[in-house]
Structure 1
Amino acid sequence: MISLPLVYTILALLAYTTSFCYVVAHFMEKSEPNRWLVSLSVVLGLMLHASVLYHDMLTPMGIHYDVFNVVSFTSGLMLLLSVLFSTYRPVLGLILIAIPVAATGLILGFTLSQPKLSITASSLGLDLHIILSLSAYTVLFMAAIHAVLLWFQNRELKKKNKKRVWVNLLPSLQTMESLLFDLLMTGFVILTIALGFGFFTIDNFFAQHLAHKTVFSLMSWWVYAVLLVGHYAFGWRGQKAIRFTLIGFALLALGFIGSKFVLEMILNS
């Protein structure tokens, strides 16, 4: 018997594929796709994606933070934020990256999540801390991808290549840098709130495999804080902004995804 989550997954993948092919076709023809049509199709896919997550993550005992459910959640949130940012900046082409990421996350979450793992009941404050942390991770992951694209764009401009793939595909350098700092500021604010919730809702922040997460998260927060102060006070941009963005995300990923993968997949904890 075909389950309802499987039907939702198939329909969501169909909506994502349709959106992706539509945008690619217009980019190949060098014409502007209908933004509202793209957004409507993507949002439909996201609603179906959310229905799958609702079934997989919400249990009578609490929220099931399996590593693959987390990947599915963050990839869907990444696509949602890409759509929101595209409403006020000309960056619709970046959805071409976010759609495959969301589709891959959905497939991984649906097929590989482990419902037999024990679920510990948690408080509302702790759930808010975790969801905000995941949201901050998603936004800052988008900023890291954006920084890599900026690096490719800068490289082509400096070397004066005749075939400028990234320069032609992406928005202007100024628009890309503006969006990078939009993402960094949004992610930094959410990360700050998430850490605040953590300190007030977790009894022992340096116990239960949380010490390394705390240290790496605080180091990442400090890197982003220095970068944002440097940008708005001293005009930091370009390669310096790219380096700080990637270092900050590497620290965050090392503390969050790395430790969660080791605990669940290797130690089965």
Structure 2
Amino acid sequence: MNALPALLALIATVLYLSVAIAVARAVARRQAPSRAPLLALLALALLQHGGVMYGLMIQPGGLHFGFFTIAVLHAWLLAVLALLVNLHRPVQGIYLVALPLAAFELSLGVIGHERAPVPAPLTPAVQGHILLSLLAYSILSISALQAILVSWQESALRRHRRGLLLALPALQTMEKMLFELIALGFGLLTLAIGSGFIVLDDMLAQHVAHKTVFSLVAWLIFAILLLGRHWRGWRGRMAVRFTLIGFVLLLIGFVGTKFVLELVLARAAS
């Protein structure tokens, strides 16, 4: 990799971690984090990260969707969603989990990119399906992080720990945002699965069967959760458990399958 993308990745990583540390210090001091400076730092980090992502993804013949490139893209989407969530409502606490994860994925993608095998070119329709799947996965990723925050917030309220609460809105608002994110992610996941059956020759072929099965089971979990919320008023621990179970299934199906196919089996065959 050229020096410039590596430098941009380093700057973005430092900025991500700086925002997370600033929130952690404010929580430790039982102070409300400053919103505007954190948004500005995060926006600057996203610009640097975007430059790295562009260099890795844009390849001769179309977009490149290798395992490490997807890690960089998912990290960017995760940070963008954290920014958008905070533009909608002040939820600086989400920086504590989203941004260290984004920094890790960005670093992993940049370090591993050079050693990764180059996959065969994909048709525009398949590229669109992958981007839609990534967007759904990213929104459900931020939903899982939101669920973790809801769990932490409930625990902090029971134990009368005020620090974390200053970085979050009211618990009822947090739960409302959680289900808004889940509903959006569920809708995109539905479109992604549907588009897969249309643009892929065989969604149950050997190399994508595990991904398809895990995605369908995750879709069912999120569908049950949304129905339970609508008909039974599910919230709290029930919502957190279903959200995390559904996300773990997606993680195994999407990331786990791609890791095994590209890095384990491909290298074993070479």
Q: TM-score when scaled to structure 1?
A: 0.89
Q: Does 1:267 align with 2:265?
A: yes
In structure 2, the CA distance between the partners of 1:228 and 1:18, relative to structure 1 (3 Å rule), is same
1:122-162 Cα deviation digits (max 9, x unpaired):
111111111111111111122222223323333454xx435
1:233 alignment counterpart: 231
1:7-156 equivalences in 2 (<5 Å): 7-114=7-114, 117-156=117-156
What residue number does 1:172 align with?
Answer: 170
Q: Give the 3-state SS of the residue equivalent to 1:179 in structure 2.
A: helix
User: Does 1 or 2 have the higher relative contact order (CA < 8 Å, sep 6+)?
Assistant: 2
Q: Matched residues, percent identical?
A: 39
Once residues 261 and 127 of structure 1 are traced to their aligned partners in structure 2, the CA distance between those partners, rounded to angstroms, is: 18
1:55, distance to aligned residue in structure 2 (A):
1.1
CA offsets 1:32-72 (integer angstroms, 9 cap, x no match): 44433322221111111111111122210332222222222
CA displacement, residues 182-226 of structure 1 (integer Å, 9 cap, x when unaligned): 210111111111112211111122115111211111111111112
What's the CA shift for 1:30? 4.1
CA offset digits 1:213-259 (Å, max 9, x no partner): 11111111111112112212331112221221122112212211111
Distance 2:167 2:116 in 1: 45
Q: For residue 209 of structure 2, what is the aligned residue in structure 1?
A: 211
Equivalent residues in 2 for 1:186-197, closer than 5 Å: 186-197=184-195
- Which residue is equivalent to 2:222? 224
Q: Displacement, 1:27?
A: 3.9
1:83–1:92 Cα contact (<8 Å) kept: no
Give the SS at the match of 2:229: helix
Asked whether the equivalents of residues 72 and 109 of structure 2 are also in contact (C-alpha less than 8 Å), the reply is yes
Q: Which runs of 5+ in 2 are unaligned?
A: none
Distance 1:235 1:264 in 2: 42
